[in-house]
């Protein structure tokens, strides 16, 4: 079903650099291809990959060819449904993943219906974070009665992982800096401080080893995390890409991902109030401020852009 054509605005940049290169300006409007939907965006979150892209960190030294567009998740109202898509209609309120999403209109590749009780900003916040959390927990096989340690529990992926694991009946220990210890307690984790001596603090909190470690921050020496588990493969990292050399597992999405199933689980937890995310919102034309905060590395919950 075709949607309307619309001159739209999107967050963009024409040279790599600091977040100040970002512009909220006109861009070609996207359309849903087979298996995709288009939404009128009500909110789109900021993930660390966004500022890494703007900085040119993923460009492999190649110059930018044309404007760069950003964003990997969004929530909005469906206004176009691609071929081979069933179960969703124009006018439905959804959230999900796609690229680029920090724009007035975005094409999503995976989505779930937004529970009516959930804010647009919260729904946008859990696209990437929710899919990543589900993937980590599935790869680690976390089930009821397990103890999970989340290294980096207060940010986007960490806060969703903590709550998703609790909903499965696991016990969760999570790390954060001093300022986020209370936040971790609020979302149900046993907090520990990261840094020197952290492995001993985790063992003390767990009363021994844990069944699984999810390395979200990628900052702790991988040997320290492996020392907490019965075997190295029970450490999964999303941010330390050399962790595999020590026997831990690394996941970047791709074949490990089941995004539609993951987002359906996230929607259910949101509807049941078992997943609560602290969000800080910024208008799209002040995106650089949100990017700066993300770049600082100490986000509590999620940063979200709104029209
Ligand atoms: N591979 C994948 O599929 C995938 C998917 C999504 C994200 N990622 C990557 O995963 C990382 C986390 O993403 P995110 O969205 O959760 O980031 P985020 O929202 O910016 O959160 C980062 C968190 O890291 C914590 N942190 C900072 N230094 C730490 C340390 N030394 N030890 C433990 N925790 C520390 C911070 O806690 P304090 O504020 O308390 O310091 C903060 O809460 C990023 O590098 C991102 O690019 C990978």
Question: Is 80 domain-assigned?
Answer: yes
List phi, psi (to 5°) of 284: -55, -40
Residue 4 Cα to ligand 1 midpoint, Å, equals 38
pLDDT at site 101: 98
pLDDT at site 38: 98
Share of the chain above pLDDT 90, in %: 96
CATH number of the domain encompassing residue 26: 3.90.180.10
The verdict on 103 and 25 lying in the same domain is: yes
Ligand 1 within 6 A of CB of 48? yes
pLDDT tens per residue across span 63-119: 998 999 999 999 999 999 999 999 999 999 999 999 999 999 999 999 999 999 999
Question: Is 100 domain-assigned?
Answer: yes
Q: 3 pLDDT band (50/70/90 cuts)?
A: very low
Ligand 1 within 6 A of CB of 176? yes
Question: Is 1 domain-assigned?
Answer: no
In whole numbers, what is the pLDDT of the chain averaged over residues?
Answer: 96
The verdict on 138 and 250 lying in the same domain is: yes
Share of the chain above pLDDT 70, in %: 98
pLDDT at site 5: 56
The verdict on 104 and 180 lying in the same domain is: no
Question: Is 208 domain-assigned?
Answer: yes
Q: Is the pLDDT of residue 35 over 80?
A: yes
Cβ-based neighbours of 294, under 8 Å, separated by 6 or more:
46, 47, 48, 50, 51, 303
Mean pLDDT of 176-187: 98
Residue nearest to atom 5 of ligand 1 (CA): 132
Residue 155 Cα to ligand 1 midpoint, Å, equals 6
The verdict on 64 and 146 lying in the same domain is: no
CATH number of the domain encompassing residue 221: 3.40.50.720
pLDDT tens per residue across span 271-291: 999 999 999 999 999 999 999
Ligand 1 within 6 A of CB of 216? yes
The verdict on 145 and 237 lying in the same domain is: yes
Ligand 1 within 6 A of CB of 47? yes
Number of domains in the chain: 2
Q: Is the pLDDT of residue 55 over 50?
A: yes
Question: Is 290 domain-assigned?
Answer: yes
Question: Is 119 domain-assigned?
Answer: no
Answer whether 159's CB lies under 8 Å from 278's CB.
yes
Pocket test of ligand 1: the residue of 55, 71, 158, 242 to mutate, having most ligand atoms within 8 Å of its CB, is: 158
The verdict on 199 and 227 lying in the same domain is: yes
Which residue segment(s) compose the domain that 89 sits in? 8-114+277-306
The verdict on 144 and 248 lying in the same domain is: yes
The verdict on 282 and 245 lying in the same domain is: no
Q: 1 pLDDT band (50/70/90 cuts)?
A: very low
Residue 178 Cα to ligand 1 midpoint, Å, equals 15
Residue 139 Cα to ligand 1 midpoint, Å, equals 18
Q: Is the pLDDT of residue 198 over 90?
A: yes
Question: Is 122 domain-assigned?
Answer: no
Mean pLDDT of 226-253: 97
The verdict on 71 and 145 lying in the same domain is: no
Ligand 1 within 6 A of CB of 181? no
Ligand 1 within 6 A of CB of 180? yes
Give the separation between CA 10 and CA 75, rounded to whole angstroms. 15
Pocket test of ligand 1: the residue of 44, 45, 46, 48 to mutate, having most ligand atoms within 8 Å of its CB, is: 48
Q: Is the pLDDT of residue 253 over 90?
A: no
Q: How far is CA 249 from the centre of its chain?
A: 19
Q: Taking Cα atoms as reference points, which of 283, 202, 225 lies closest to residue 24?
A: 283
Mean pLDDT of 119-142: 98
The verdict on 108 and 136 lying in the same domain is: no
The verdict on 77 and 47 lying in the same domain is: yes
Ligand 1 within 6 A of CB of 158? yes
Question: Is 3 domain-assigned?
Answer: no
Please report the DSSP string for 90-114 in residue order. Answer: TT-EEEEEES--SBSEEEEEEEEEP
The verdict on 228 and 139 lying in the same domain is: yes
Q: 2 pLDDT band (50/70/90 cuts)?
A: very low
Answer whether 104's CB lies under 8 Å from 10's CB.
yes
């Amino acid at each position: 079903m075709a949607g309307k054509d619309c001159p739209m605005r999107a967050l963009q940049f024409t040279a790599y650099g600091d977040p100040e290169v970002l512009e909220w300006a006109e861009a070609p409007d996207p359309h849903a291809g087979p298996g995709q939907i288009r939404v009128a965006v009500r909110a789109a979150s900021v993930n660390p990959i966004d500022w890494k892209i703007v900085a040119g960190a993923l460009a492999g030294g190649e110059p930018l060819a044309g404007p760069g567009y950003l964003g990997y998740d969004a929530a909005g109202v469906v206004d176009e449904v691609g071929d081979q898509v069933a179960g969703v209609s124009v006018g439905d309120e959804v959230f999900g993943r796609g690229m680029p999403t920090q724009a007035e209109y975005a094409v999503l590749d995976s989505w779930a219906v937004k529970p009516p009780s959930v804010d647009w900003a919260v729904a946008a916040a859990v696209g990437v974070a929710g899919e990543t959390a589900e993937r980590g927990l599935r790869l680690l096989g976390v089930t009821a009665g397990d103890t999970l340690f989340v290294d980096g529990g207060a940010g986007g992926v960490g806060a969703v992982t903590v709550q998703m694991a609790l909903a499965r009946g696991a016990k969760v220990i999570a790390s954060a800096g001093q300022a986020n210890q209370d936040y971790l307690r609020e979302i149900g984790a046993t907090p520990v401080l990261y840094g020197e001596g952290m492995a001993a603090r985790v063992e003390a909190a767990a009363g021994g080893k844990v069944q699984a470690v999810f390395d979200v921050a990628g900052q702790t020496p991988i040997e320290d995390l492996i020392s907490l588990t019965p075997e190295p493969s029970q450490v999964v990292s999303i941010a330390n890409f050399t962790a595999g050399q020590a026997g831990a597992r690394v996941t970047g999405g791709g074949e490990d991902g089941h995004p539609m199933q993951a987002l359906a689980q996230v929607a259910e937890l949101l509807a049941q109030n078992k997943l609560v995310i602290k969000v800080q919102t910024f208008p799209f034309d002040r995106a650089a401020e949100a990017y700066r905060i993300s770049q600082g590395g100490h986000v509590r919950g999620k940063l979200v852009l709104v029209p």
